């Protein structure tokens, strides 16, 4: 038996034991079954969650808000411009007040070098559970939804499963490191063999890589790195082609002091790697039963071609997106 998870913060999957995460998965599968049977799951009647978004969101915002409704509670959809945050109120003060008025706080703040620190400070002073809806380092809700989807399609025994997390070209915005970093920390804890592919100018954070190696040793998985996308796809049973910015190339303090110059350099580096795309040629390098995953939104035609993303025999991205609902409900039900 594990102790009650009530009031436990959900800031990174790395803070939760395998037993605790397994409880989340069991709860999520039960909630998903009830959802399809249209059975009510009023586990949080009349409870309030405050959601603070510093960025846009589709899956995260709606999975959490819909999840709270389905659990019998209510989620306040807040943005900085609606709050005194826009006038400089400290995260400490925001957390103290909101935790006295409701039952949980969830926040997305992905500003590099800032987001995690902001959410951590709220967690330090909140009397109720604080949940990261994504920051500049971690995206814990995405991680558990990804793993739930893997369990559904490839079974619970993931020992030796070959998963490739690959950088891919995108021309939208400099996407956070948090999704791939969460995946390389979490997957090896369940015995998964992870390969990370990225151009040399787009590494993940060094401290996260070192922690992922330790997680792999403890969990029986493995992690390796390559600068060759084709090599990474060879024999992979799951491929996750996703863009991330070049933030890990810089020291955090240097980046914050020279942000405009770093962004210009990242853009110039980006244009060198337009060929990093998941297409029919690359997918044929993978296992014959390969599955495609992506946190969405996918940059169609850049990260991955339509013919792969929309191929129902390969792509499980919409199952992955739906599982954001069920895993979010599980975490909220267990912690609030």
Domain with CATH 3.40.50.1370 in the chain: 13-139+323-335, 142-321
Tell the CATH topology of 142-321: Rossmann fold (3.40.50)
Q: Give the pLDDT confidence of 131-145 residue by residue, as tens digits.
A: 999 999 999 999 999
Q: Is 3.40.50.1370 the CATH number for 13-139+323-335?
A: yes
What pairs with residue 76 in β-bridges? 50
Per-residue pLDDT, 174? 77
Q: Which residues contact 137 (CB under 8 A, 6 or more apart)?
A: 12, 115, 116, 177, 178, 181, 205, 208
Q: What is the pTM of this model?
A: 0.96
Q: Give the pLDDT confidence of 203-227 residue by residue, as tens digits.
A: 999 999 999 999 999 999 999 999 9
- CA 170 – CA 245 distance, rounded (Å): 10
What pairs with residue 35 in β-bridges? none
Q: Give the pLDDT confidence of 289-314 residue by residue, as tens digits.
A: 999 999 999 999 999 999 999 999 99
User: Does the pLDDT value for residue 158 go beyond 80?
Assistant: yes
Q: How confident is the model at residue 173 (pLDDT cuts 50, 70, 90)?
A: low
Q: What percent of the chain has pLDDT over 90?
A: 93
Q: How confident is the model at residue 56 (pLDDT cuts 50, 70, 90)?
A: confident
User: Does the pLDDT value for residue 172 go beyond 90?
Assistant: no
């Amino acid at each position: 038996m594990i102790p009650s998870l009530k009031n436990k913060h959900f800031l990174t999957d790395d803070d939760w034991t395998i037993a605790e995460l397994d409880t989340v998965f069991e709860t999520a599968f039960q909630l998903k079954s009830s959802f399809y049977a249209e059975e009510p799951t009023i586990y949080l009647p009349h409870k309030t969650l405050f959601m603070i978004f510093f960025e846009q969101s589709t899956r995260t915002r709606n999975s959490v808000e819909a999840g709270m409704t389905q659990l019998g509670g209510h989620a306040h959809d807040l943005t900085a411009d609606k709050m005194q945050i826009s006038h400089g109120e400290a995260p400490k003060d925001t957390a103290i007040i909101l935790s006295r008025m409701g039952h949980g706080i969830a926040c997305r703040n992905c500003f590099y070098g800032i987001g995690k620190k902001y959410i951590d400070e709220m967690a330090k002073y909140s009397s109720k559970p604080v949940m990261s809806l994504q920051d500049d380092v971690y995206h814990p809700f995405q991680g558990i939804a990804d793993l739930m989807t893997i369990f559904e399609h490839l079974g619970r025994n993931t020992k030796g499963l070959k998963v490739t997390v690959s950088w891919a070209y995108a021309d939208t915005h400099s996407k956070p490191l948090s999704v791939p970093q969460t995946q390389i920390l979490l997957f090896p804890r369940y015995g998964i063999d992870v390969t990370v592919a990225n151009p040399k100018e787009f590494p993940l954070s060094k401290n996260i890589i070192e922690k992922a190696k330790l997680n792999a040793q403890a969990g029986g998985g493995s992690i390796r790195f390559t600068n060759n996308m084709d090599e990474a796809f060879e024999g992979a049973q799951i491929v996750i082609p996703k863009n991330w910015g070049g933030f890990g190339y810089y020291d955090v303090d240097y980046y914050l002091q020279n942000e405009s110059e770093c962004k210009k350099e990242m853009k110039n580096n980006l244009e060198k790697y337009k060929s990093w795309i998941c297409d029919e040629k690359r997918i044929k390098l993978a296992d014959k039963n390969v599955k495609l995953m992506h946190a969405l939104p996918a940059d169609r035609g850049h990260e991955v071609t339509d013919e792969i993303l929309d191929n129902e025999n390969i792509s499980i991205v919409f199952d992955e997106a739906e599982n954001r609902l069920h895993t979010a409900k599980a975490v909220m039900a267990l912690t609030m």
